[in-house]
Amino acid sequence: MHHCRCFKINAKDIQVCRQKLLELGFEPQITEVNHGQVFGLRKKIFDLLQIHFKVMPNGIIESELEPPPEFPGAHLNDIHSYPPHEFLPGVLDHIGINYKIIPPVPNTCRLPKIIDPKKPLKWWEILIIGLAAVGIGYVVLQLLRK
């Protein structure tokens, strides 16, 4: 429900789309999971928001707006992701890729629920907290053994 799958491009345009998105500043997402897509790219829009753009072999675009992976707690929480339905035509028009809208457009795309993360922790902050917890746990165990 946080992905938009309403847009489709011609299969012959997939590699052109990828190249034009790269020229626009999109980049591969290191943590990309293979869902059968031809390619998956992301572009950071704001500090706490990126667009994730995948194109399937049949030309269907699967896309979402989400926090970037630098904030793993917010990135992995689907509540902070929502479909970029209103944003995609502008991107596709800007790079000159023809597309079709696949009806019907679901309510999740027409009326997305946007819940911004509040002060999410970066991955290194989570690591420091985890290491501190392990250290405290070790000290407590040592004290209990005495």
CATH number at residue 52: 3.30.160
Q: Where are the alpha helices (DSSP H) in 1-146?
A: 14-23, 72-75, 88-95, 107-110, 123-145
Is 127 within a domain? no
pLDDT value for 33: 66
Is 138 part of any domain? no
Q: What confidence score (pLDDT) does residue 121 get?
A: 54
C-alpha separations of 79 from 2, 12, 140 in Å: 8, 34, 36
**Domain count of the fold of the chain:** 1
pTM: 0.72
Per-residue pLDDT of the chain (146 residues; tens, 9 = 90+): 688 999 999 999 999 999 999 999 999 976 566 778 999 999 988 777 788 899 999 999 999 988 777 766 554 556 557 799 998 999 999 999 999 999 999 998 987 665 565 665 555 554 555 566 666 766 677 777 87
* Helices assigned H by DSSP within 2-122: 14-23, 72-75, 88-95, 107-110
Residue 43 inside a domain? The answer is: yes
Task: Print the domain residue range for 72.
Answer: 4-118
Q: Does residue 141 fall inside a structural domain? A: no
Distance in angstroms (rounded) separating the CA atoms of residues 26 and 50: 10
pLDDT at 80: 56
Residue 95 inside a domain? The answer is yes
DSSP 121: P
Cβ atoms of 97 and 53 within 8 Å: the answer is no
